[in-house]
């Protein structure tokens, strides 16, 4: 037997062992044993007068289909699940094939999308609340794992990997078109990755014959695995689209907080802070109390736990009666404004300060527009089940003369989740209810 013939047999045994993921310490012995078998088969055929090429081909055929032997090897060294999935998807292939350029381009596309998903998707998942984070994590994990398999499967000439890559390219093109459609007016958005993906698809269509030759003989993987691959491809996109509609039961809703507002009005012989006496000064003490029966679990995701989340709650008020006084040249002057001391926000049970005057959190966009100084930021991390947060504003009229006692609207935005809102007048005590107006609120101080 010639060295060339033996080299063919060794390459066959080696490819079987490699494709099956046989552990390193077993590889050498297994290849030697299989090679010995193949050599003995060929030698016996040669002894009958068969030509070496034919004898080698016959020995390889008799040794069994790559998929069959590969599966047996896979289930020997891995779990049955691994053998039935990865072992099938990455089964070794017969014959020597030259990889067309378009296959290399598809592999590059899969690799780039893999890296982008890893770089962008993982930080995004860390900022999600538990249920969406798990859903998105599973979906992204499945996609990433399938991308790795497809990357290797393409090199092996597996049809399923080709379809996965083509589907991914189509998906990238669709997402690029959507990004163009969603771009703000007056801006130009060039989806480079989508253009590259579109070019790959055109290349695939134009290389049909070369691709067919490359994947010829690739075994069908079965309907179940096909569905799994399709699901892994689409899962991240579908989960992202469904996220707004997913209610996370680990997060508090409007029903988990009772908000009451009250207002006490009087003509003050002295100011609330104990500062020097001011004669007959009208004062309105506006109070909002929020009793939480349940708090969010990881409201800012793991990123919030690591202190990388600045999202907090916002409370604000506006005096709706008497109405603001329009100012020449635009704008309006509220009829009542905050007076010293600064508004306070405390844990009603412990007295601990749990917020600050002047909210800068994104949740400020969820409440009706007020003058910025009227808002209170509430430390979201200080919200506890069974605790009550109390917010107190001291108000005084901006106009001299007999007081026209105020009626105020008070709003509380819990992150970007929900808004509670209610109105109260002097001597009144009223509950707030969930605000059903679309967010972010676009109505302002002078809006109806």
Partner 1 sequence: MNDPRLDRGDFGLLLLGLLADRPMYGYELLAELRARTESVIDLPEGTVYPALRRLERDGLIAGRWQDAAGAPRRRYYDLTAEGAQSLADGAAAWRKFASAADAILGS
Interface ranges with partner 1 (CB under 8 A): 16, 26, 29-30, 32-37, 39-41, 43, 62-65, 68-69, 72-73, 75-77
Quick one: 37 or 384, whose CB is closer to partner 1?
37
Shortest CB 70 distance to partner 1, Å: 9
Quick one: 36 or 386, whose CB is closer to partner 1?
36
Three-class DSSP category at 312: coil
Measuring CA to CA, which residue among 404, 411, 243, 273 is closest to residue 339? Answer: 273
Shortest CB 2 distance to partner 1, Å: 15
Quote the CA–CA distance of 275 and 269 in Å, as a whole number: 11
Shortest CB 28 distance to partner 1, Å: 11
How many Cα atoms occupy the beta-carbon half-sphere of 401 within 13 Å?
A: 5
Number of other CB atoms surrounding residue 123 within 10 Å: 12
Shortest CB 3 distance to partner 1, Å: 14
Quote the CA–CA distance of 230 and 164 in Å, as a whole number: 7
* Beta carbons of 351 and 401 less than 8 angstroms apart: no
Quick one: 41 or 312, whose CB is closer to partner 1?
41
Quote the CA–CA distance of 355 and 52 in Å, as a whole number: 86
Quick one: 64 or 269, whose CB is closer to partner 1?
64
Quick one: 31 or 290, whose CB is closer to partner 1?
31
Quick one: 33 or 275, whose CB is closer to partner 1?
33
- At 318, which helix (H) or strand (E)? strand 313-321
Shortest CB 7 distance to partner 1, Å: 14
Number of other CB atoms surrounding residue 134 within 10 Å: 13
Q: How remote is the C-alpha of 254 from its chain's centroid?
A: 24
- At 317, which helix (H) or strand (E)? strand 313-321
* Beta carbons of 310 and 287 less than 8 angstroms apart: no
Quick one: 43 or 270, whose CB is closer to partner 1?
43
Sheet strands (E) in 195-312: 257-268, 281-292
Quote the CA–CA distance of 117 and 174 in Å, as a whole number: 16
Q: What is the DSSP letter of 120?
A: I
Q: How remote is the C-alpha of 133 from its chain's centroid?
A: 7
Rg (CA), the chain: 35
Quote the CA–CA distance of 386 and 295 in Å, as a whole number: 9
Quote the CA–CA distance of 266 and 285 in Å, as a whole number: 9
Quick one: 22 or 315, whose CB is closer to partner 1?
22
Shortest CB 80 distance to partner 1, Å: 12
Q: Which residues pair with 283 in a beta bridge?
A: 266
Shortest CB 134 distance to partner 1, Å: 36
Quick one: 40 or 270, whose CB is closer to partner 1?
40
Shortest CB 73 distance to partner 1, Å: 5
Quick one: 10 or 271, whose CB is closer to partner 1?
10
Shortest CB 1 distance to partner 1, Å: 11
Stated length of the chain: 448
Ordered strands of the 407-414 beta sheet:
355-357, 376-378, 313-321, 407-414, 418-425, 433-434
Quick one: 56 or 408, whose CB is closer to partner 1?
56
**Residues 6 or more apart in contact with residue 393 via CB below 8 angstroms:** 285, 286, 287, 317, 338, 343, 374
Shortest CB 215 distance to partner 1, Å: 23
Q: What is the DSSP letter of 353?
A: B
Shortest CB 222 distance to partner 1, Å: 17
Quick one: 33 or 270, whose CB is closer to partner 1?
33
Shortest CB 77 distance to partner 1, Å: 8
């Amino acid at each position: 037997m010639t060295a060339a013939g033996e080299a063919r047999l060794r390459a066959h045994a080696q490819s079987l062992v490699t494709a099956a993921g046989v552990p390193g310490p077993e590889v050498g012995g297994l290849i030697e044993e299989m090679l010995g078998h193949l050599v003995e088969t060929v030698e016996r055929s040669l002894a009958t007068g068969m030509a070496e090429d034919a004898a080698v081909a016959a020995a390889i055929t008799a040794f069994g289909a790559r998929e069959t032997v590969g599966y047996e090897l896979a289930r020997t060294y891995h779990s049955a699940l691994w053998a039935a999935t990865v072992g099938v998807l990455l089964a070794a292939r017969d014959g020597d094939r030259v990889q067309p350029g378009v296959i290399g381009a598809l592999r590059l596309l899969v690799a780039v999308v893999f890296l982008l998903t890893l770089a962008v998707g993982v930080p995004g998942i860390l900022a999600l609340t538990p249920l969406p984070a798990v859903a998105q994590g599973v979906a992204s994990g499945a996609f990433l794992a399938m991308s790795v398999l497809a990357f290797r499967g393409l090199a092996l000439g597996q049809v399923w990997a080709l379809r996965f890559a083509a589907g991914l390219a189509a998906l990238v093109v669709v997402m690029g078109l959507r990004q163009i459609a969603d771009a703000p007016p007056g801006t130009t958005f060039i989806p480079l990755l989508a253009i590259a993906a579109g070019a790959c698809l055109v290349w695939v269509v134009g290389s049909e014959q070369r691709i067919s030759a490359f994947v010829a003989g690739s075994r069908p993987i079965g309907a179940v695995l096909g569905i799994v691959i399709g699901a892994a491809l689409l899962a991240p996109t579908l989960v992202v689209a469904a996220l707004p509609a997913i209610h996370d039961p680990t997060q508090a809703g409007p029903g988990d907080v009772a908000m009451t507002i009250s207002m006490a009005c009087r003509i003050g012989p002295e100011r609330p802070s104990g500062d020097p006496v001011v004669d007959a000064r009208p004062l309105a003490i506006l109070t909002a109390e929020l009793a939480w029966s349940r708090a969010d679990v990881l409201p800012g995701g793991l990123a919030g736990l690591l202190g990388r989340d600045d999202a907090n709650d916002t409370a604000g008020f506006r005096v709706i009666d008497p109405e603001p006084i329009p100012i020449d040249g635009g704008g309006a002057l509220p009829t009542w404004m905050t007076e010293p001391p600064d508004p306070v926000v405390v844990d009603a049970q412990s007295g601990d300060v749990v917020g600050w005057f002047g909210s800068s959190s994104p949740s400020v966009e969820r409440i009706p527009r007020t003058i910025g100084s009227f808002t209170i930021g509430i430390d979201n991390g200080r919200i506890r089940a069974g605790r009550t947060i109390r917010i107190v504003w001291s108000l005084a009229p901006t106009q001299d003369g007999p007081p026209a006692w105020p009626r105020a609207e008070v709003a509380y935005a819990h992150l970007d989740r929900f808004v509670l809102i209610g109105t109260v007048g002097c001597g009144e005590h009223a509950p707030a209810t969930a605000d059903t107006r679309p967010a972010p609120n676009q109505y302002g101080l002078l809006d109806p």
